[in-house]
Amino acid sequence: MNDQTSPALLQRGRATITEVATLAGVSKASVSRFIGTDRQLLATATAERIEQAIAELGYRPNQMARGLKRGRTRLIGMLVADILNPYSVAIMHAVETACRRQGYSLVVCNTNRDDEQERHHLDALRSYNVEGLIVNTLGHHLGELRELHRDLPIVLVDRKVEALHTDLVGLNNADAVRQALDHLQERGYRNILLVGEPHDGTSSRSERVTAFNEQIIRRPPLRGRVLETGPQLNDQLQAFLSDPKPGPKALFCANGIATLATTKALCELGVKLFDEVGLLALDDLDWYPLVSGGITALAQPTHDIGVSAVECLLGRLNGDTQPARHYDFNARLIVRGSTLPKH
């Protein structure tokens, strides 16, 4: 060791590579070789001195700086529209797990459904030098996304962004709606109300409404209409329940947030769950089994969707130049007490 090393080095917050080199009596290049991939080029005695100096100083390499020098940061960015949405949480968990297994770290930015926040986060993600981007948001800033896409691969999750030709991973919405109406019709329900969040341009919401209307037309025994959540939800549900037109009634909630709003409204209206009306939800949340015999649900394969998004992104990073592809996963029906037979 270098006898002239100042004790002050050991009292500073974060040790530097210069301090390690000084303490070990070697060059910074030797320390870089030791912590990089060229350790075998060092003499055994030199490597031992560097190792001891690193231990004494508690030195931790700046992985970001090293990555930038090599042109790699091992960072994946993820843009999320609503971090409070249970679907978003489940997808993020799957994406983060898949990234970690592949040696990447995930940087998550929540736009909170705000266009200005989306613009800010896109600029931030560029400054972080992420190697790829997973997007689950409204995609209103097409110009910025296109510009990013020229520099790095982008994979969309759940929501299409028109004119952005990238891979898309999500739910087969048409099949999910078909499964829902198959089940409700088989159980004897004839008057069905689709309850969803307000239409804001989100492709998945539009696809579910379109598929619902098309399926109702193809099924003459069924009557159906669409309702959006909001301040008038209680009154509109009351009107639906009071409608004298024939046929057992059921509610088909288009996602977990709509299911929570609908269940709360039914309780406030004093409806006896689920004798007066059936209920089927798209998304399967932890609280569904706890409500009056349980809520029948179409579970989204969020783990498979998240993992597939990461695999698509890494494939592009590794040179895949095939045309953009769509990967649609099917939902899984879980039958509980909210859709009792009405025959």
What is the CATH number assigned to the segment(s) 173-300? 3.40.50.2300
Query: Cβ–Cβ contacts within 10 Å for residue 134, how many?
Result: 28
- Please count the CA atoms within 13 angstroms of the CA of 28 that sit on its side-chain side: 5
- Give the tens place of pLDDT for each residue, 252-284: 999 999 999 999 999 999 998 898 899 999 999
Give residues with Cβ within 8 angstroms of 246, minimum separation 6.
Answer: 190, 191
Q: Is the pLDDT of residue 61 over 70?
A: no
Give the pLDDT of residue 125: 85
Q: Angle, nearest 10°, between helix axes 203-218 and 173-186?
A: 40
Give the pLDDT of residue 2: 45
Q: Tell me which residue of 267, 279, 222 sits closest to 246, measured CA to CA.
A: 222
Tokens for 181? 């109406």
Average pLDDT over residues 179-203: 93
- How would residue 128 be classed by pLDDT, with cut points 50, 70 and 90? confident
Average pLDDT over residues 319-334: 95
Average pLDDT over residues 74-78: 93
Q: What's the topology of domain 73-171+303-329?
A: Rossmann fold (3.40.50)
Distance, in Å, from the CA atom of 117 to the CA atom of 111, rounded to the nearest integer, reads: 5
- CA-only gyration radius of the chain, Å: 27
Q: Is the pLDDT of residue 3 over 80?
A: no
- How would residue 5 be classed by pLDDT, with cut points 50, 70 and 90? very low
- How would residue 62 be classed by pLDDT, with cut points 50, 70 and 90? low
- Give the tens place of pLDDT for each residue, 197-230: 998 778 899 999 999 999 999 999 899 999 999 9
Distance, in Å, from the CA atom of 127 to the CA atom of 246, rounded to the nearest integer, reads: 60
Q: Is the pLDDT of residue 106 over 50?
A: yes
Give the pLDDT of residue 186: 96
The ranges assigned to domains in the chain are 7-61, 73-171+303-329, 173-300
8 A C-beta contact, residue 221 and residue 190: yes
Tell me the residue type at 302.
T
What is the CATH number assigned to the segment(s) 7-61? 1.10.260.40
pLDDT, averaged across the chain: 89
- How would residue 65 be classed by pLDDT, with cut points 50, 70 and 90? low
Query: Cβ–Cβ contacts within 10 Å for residue 182, how many?
Result: 13
Biggest CA pair distance of the chain: 94
Q: Is the pLDDT of residue 7 over 60?
A: no
Q: With 0.95 as the threshold, say if the pTM is over it.
A: no
Phi, psi of 252 (to 5 degrees): -115, 110
Average pLDDT over residues 43-68: 78
7-61 and 173-300 in the same fold: no
- Give the tens place of pLDDT for each residue, 277-289: 999 999 999 999 9
- Give the tens place of pLDDT for each residue, 301-319: 999 999 999 999 999 999 9
Q: What is the b/e burial string over 185-195, where b = at least 16 CB atoms within 10 angstroms of the residue's CB?
A: bebbbbbbbbb
Q: Tell me which residue of 184, 203, 202 sits closest to 194, measured CA to CA.
A: 184
8 A C-beta contact, residue 308 and residue 327: yes
CA 233, 292, 290, 288 dihedral sign is negative
